[in-house]
Structure 1
Amino acid sequence: MFAVRRSAVASAAGAAALCALTACGSGDSTVAKTPEPSAPAPVSTTAAAPPTLTTTPEPGPADPCAVNLAAPAIAKAVSELPRDPRSKQPWNTEPLAGNYNECAPLSAVIVEANTNAANPSTRAVLFHLGKYIPTGVPDTFGFNAIDTTQSTGDTVALKYAGSIEGLGGVVRFRWNGNGVELIGNAPPG
């Protein structure tokens, strides 16, 4: 009988210890342990857009035969030009216009004197297969645009504007296999 009582006492002591650890008490009930209801989650009135899968194509190498007015060969060539004879200033290395590309037998850029004058001098700089043509080129001062409708791979049509409104024209230059030649003037279009 002593063994049964000891077992009952041990069980009662274990239950009391368990109640003490879990904070049981005679006043506890399921209502007291149930959490208070929380406010309902706000309902979105707009549907979320489904995720889109976008892939950015890997950039390929730049096309060497595309017009590139930021090519380093342009800045190098312009920096080698003699100063503008009128203002005595060097030429601005940023072209006003052009069709420079490394693949064309003849291409050009238009640059202006690096001055704050109201009407700075302009000139064309000619290239053969992307290389500056320093000698053997007819006078290219005064041009201020390229007529792309009259230009081809071996011909560059340079526009100039006269000082009298409405006057101006186009002068075409062609790569003849050995150098640049003047092939014709056209009236303003």
Structure 2
Amino acid sequence: MGSRLTLSVLSFAAAAAVAGCGSGDSTVSKTPMPSTSAPTPSAAATPAAPPPPPGPDPCAVNLAAPAIAQAVADLPKDPRSQQGWNPEPVAGNYNECAPLSAVIVKANTNAPNPNTRAVMFHLGKYIPTGIPDTYGFNGIDATQSTGDTVALTFAGGMGLQSVVKFRWNGNGVELIGNVR
């Protein structure tokens, strides 16, 4: 009977030990086990896709605007050479947001000194009529031009440069001054 009693006591002790190892007593349940899967990155740690590049600014000077080529195609021929006009501007400040902007074009000829003229625009639209004579100009003085004023330049025979200003007055273009 002694060996049975010893075996019973041992069985009881083993059962008590197993019963005492509940989830609240075990250090195994309190210690996190290493994870075998990679942690999921949080939304803040995920790099965002870069924003798309901005489109061209419609209010920037754009000498390649389709409106320029269309306006030049609509011009009457150069009176001196009887040729059309080259649609590639020699100079300009075309801006579809400006009350007045202009480009300088030259006659489409192989002559050594082709005729030039200014083509004016109001809010990006060609102004076909009501403009004082704009032949002979070869540049734009950006320092004297504003949103509603264009300062056209031409060089005289002795190398002197002159400036003629045109302004959008709310209804049309007017000549406002000659500056030397």
After TM superposition, the score normalised by the length of structure 1 is 0.68
Q: Does 1:184 align with 2:147?
A: no
Unaligned runs of at least 5 residues, structure 2: 1-48
- How many residues of Structure 1 are paired with residues of Structure 2 in the alignment? 132
Counterpart residue number, 2:150: 156
Alignment partner of 2:162 out of 156, 169, 184? 169
Counterpart residue number, 1:101: 95
**1:44-83 equivalence runs, <5 A:** 58-83=52-77
Post-superposition CA distance 1:111-142 (Å, at most 9, x none): 00000000000000000000000000000000
- Whole-angstrom distance in 1 between the partners of 2:50 and 2:103: 33
Deviation at 1:110?
Answer: 0.3
Q: CA RMSD in A?
A: 1.3
- Whole-angstrom distance in 1 between the partners of 2:54 and 2:100: 26
Give 2:145's aligned amino acid: S
Secondary structure of 1:126's counterpart equals strand
After TM superposition, the score normalised by the length of structure 2 is 0.71
Counterpart residue number, 2:86: 92
Post-superposition CA distance 1:59-111 (Å, at most 9, x none): 21211000000000000000000000000000000001100010000000000
Counterpart residue number, 1:115: 109
Runs of 4+ in structure 1 off by over 6 angstroms are none
Counterpart residue number, 1:137: 131
Post-superposition CA distance 1:44-68 (Å, at most 9, x none): xxxxxxxxxxx98632121100000
Counterpart residue number, 1:42: none
Unaligned runs of at least 5 residues, structure 1: 1-54
Give 1:154's aligned amino acid: D
Secondary structure of 1:73's counterpart equals helix
- Whole-angstrom distance in 2 between the partners of 1:62 and 1:120: 32
- Shift of the 92–56 alpha-carbon distance from structure 1 to 2, 3 Å rule, reads farther
Give 1:179's aligned amino acid: G
Query: Identity of counterpart residues, as a percentage?
Result: 77
Q: Does 1:125 align with 2:119?
A: yes
- Shift of the 56–169 alpha-carbon distance from structure 1 to 2, 3 Å rule, reads farther
Give 1:100's aligned amino acid: Y
- Whole-angstrom distance in 2 between the partners of 1:64 and 1:109: 16
- Whole-angstrom distance in 2 between the partners of 1:90 and 1:140: 16
- Whole-angstrom distance in 2 between the partners of 1:127 and 1:141: 16
Give 1:134's aligned amino acid: P
- Whole-angstrom distance in 1 between the partners of 2:51 and 2:116: 40
